[in-house]
Structure 1
Amino acid sequence: MSEDHTKINYEFLDSTKNFIYEARETGKTHSSFQYEIMLFYSIRNGDIDGVRKALDLYKESGLIIGHMSDNQSREIHYWAVATIAVAIHYAILGGLDESEAYQLSDQYIQEIDYLQTMEECIDYLCEKAIELVSKVKENNIPHTYSDLINRCMHLIHINLHSRLKIEQLSNALHVSRDYLSQAFKKETGISLHQYILNQKLDESQKMLSSGMTINETSYTLCFCNESHFIQLFKKKYGITPANFIRSLEKF
């Protein structure tokens, strides 16, 4: 994000036992819920321009935040963590895999712990809003898929290091093997077996790029053997894993 977003003005409301009365007297209340909806719906929809527009609205209007603690440092962190929690939930609704989303949530909250000022928090959250919506846009599961298929894809994603069998997936999802296979093919256009294989091969590229050997990658992803992995990799990408690694070394 640009440094301009650190210029978002903010104000915490004072502690009061009668919030409605004080709001009527002072004219000050929380920032508009419509701005929040625009921001979080844009994250859910993978709409990067929408997120930027929502942040610009906050820049124009400023933030008015409720009173959450008499300790200013805690108040800043409470607000930042609450904002992250909601954003992560909308990212999941947008199709970002749950395991990746919650891992991001943990990472963001740990990093928030080190921020000292509200200005730092605002700048950080603006940056992470763009990062999160970008991940939704790039990695989301299409909304057209049913809940069953979405849950199936999630199970595959978090179990790529296992020898995945369709029977295991169908049992975990409480449907028959044939029903799951037919539903998956009908909704996605490819067989469940091919989808699992594609996911493993896509993950193998990331592993090889991170420095893992061909043998380590093949073993971790539970291919039958290294030769079988090499054969499948070449069939999908038109290049052997060894040549893929060499191509990375040129950059």
Structure 2
Amino acid sequence: MSIDHDLHQMLFQQREAQTQHLEYNQEFQYYNAIASGDIENVSRYFMKEDDQAYSGDEYGKLSGDSLRNVRYHFVVAVALITRICVEHGMERETAYTLSDIFIQKMDHLQTVSQVAALHNTMVVDFTKRMQKQKKENAYSIYVMRAIEYISAHLHDKLQIAEIAKAVSIHRGYLSTLFYRETGIQLHSYIMSQKIQAAAQLITTSDMPYSEIASYFSFSSQSHFIQCFRNETGYTPRQYRILFYHSSEV
């Protein structure tokens, strides 16, 4: 039986049942909360620690066996979280070693509820480490507010004057202060954050490049491709081919 046949059959069944996978913007908010060290928001997405974990249609069915299904989902989740935390500054070896540890722990568990509980523990651990990292790299109140504003408005056409106004500081002083404390030019930081967020969508969704470009307010798809290549060394297409993580395989 061909993959195409299976694909069309499953899509038909999902349409008939009116089910679909989790929306990419919800996934984006979830993973962004982890990378930001936002425990409060992350807690809203905790897995129910019972035998129904990962059983909702929005997660996708990876196996007919409930325990094997939750194991597969756990591995996908820890892999995505590890990569996103690395992209947001977690030391690479620490992140991937943590991933290995959690997968090894999961491998010894015998019930769906146990895996679900470990999933929540894993998410909290990564989130707290990101939270601690951000506190250790503390900046002045103006720079912190600018970073928070940028994070909350990545989908907008961000202008330095607009950011300065939002944090109640002169534009020129904000640019000087930001570079002094971070070692990065403010406009370069904005572009880097947009590209990192775009890369997350590229590797965790099937969203078209044109829509991603529009979502993050690039002037055109070609401009987005150029900026993405300058930042990552890859075109969006190359990046998706190399790093795409499907929750359906």
Please report the TM-score for the alignment, with normalisation by the length of structure 2. Answer: 0.51
- Listed as ranges, the matches of 1:105-144 within 5 Å are 105-108=43-46, 111=48, 128-138=120-130, 140-141=133-134, 142-144=136-138
Shift of 1:219: 0.4
Rate the CA distance shift 1:124–1:246 in 2: closer, same or farther, 3 A: closer
Correspondence 1:156 to 2:150? yes
Larger RCO, structures 1/2 (Cα 8 Å, 6+ apart): 2
Rate the CA distance shift 1:207–1:127 in 2: closer, same or farther, 3 A: closer
Match of 1:229 in 2: 224
Shift of 1:122: 11
Alignment counterpart, residue 211 of structure 2, candidates 205, 211, 216:
216
How many Å separate the matches in 1 of 2:244 and 2:121? 33
Alignment counterpart, residue 97 of structure 1, candidates 36, 54, 57:
36
Shift of 1:214: 0.8
Match of 2:236 in 1: 241
Shift of 1:155: 1.1
How many Å separate the matches in 2 of 1:239 and 1:222? 20
**Counterpart amino acid of residue 211 in structure 1:** D
Deviation sequence 1:76-116 (CA, Å, 0-9, x none):
xxxxxxxxxxxxxxxx9xx9637x443213223x848999x
- Range with bigger deviation, 123-132 or 193-202: 123-132
How many Å separate the matches in 1 of 2:143 and 2:201? 26
8 Å contact from structure 2 (residues 48, 116) kept in 1: no
Return the index of the structure with the highest Cα Rg: 1
For 1:201, what is the secondary structure of its paired residue? helix
8 Å contact from structure 2 (residues 161, 171) kept in 1: yes
Deviation sequence 1:18-51 (CA, Å, 0-9, x none):
xxxxxxxxxxxxxxxxxxxxxxxxxxxxxxxxxx
Unmatched tracts of structure 1, length 5 or more: 1-91
8 Å contact from structure 1 (residues 167, 177) kept in 2: yes
Match of 1:64 in 2: none
8 Å contact from structure 1 (residues 145, 187) kept in 2: yes
**Counterpart amino acid of residue 120 in structure 2:** K
**Counterpart amino acid of residue 166 in structure 1:** I
Correspondence 1:178 to 2:116? no
Q: Cα RMSD over matched residues?
A: 3.4
How many Å separate the matches in 2 of 1:178 and 1:188? 16
Rate the CA distance shift 1:124–1:147 in 2: closer, same or farther, 3 A: farther
8 Å contact from structure 1 (residues 97, 154) kept in 2: no
Unmatched tracts of structure 2, length 5 or more: 1-32, 53-111
Alignment counterpart, residue 163 of structure 2, candidates 148, 169, 186:
169
For 2:206, what is the secondary structure of its paired residue? coil
Identity between Structure 1 and Structure 2 (%): 26
Please report the TM-score for the alignment, with normalisation by the length of structure 1. Answer: 0.51
**Counterpart amino acid of residue 228 in structure 1:** H
How many Å separate the matches in 2 of 1:224 and 1:193? 16
**Counterpart amino acid of residue 97 in structure 1:** S
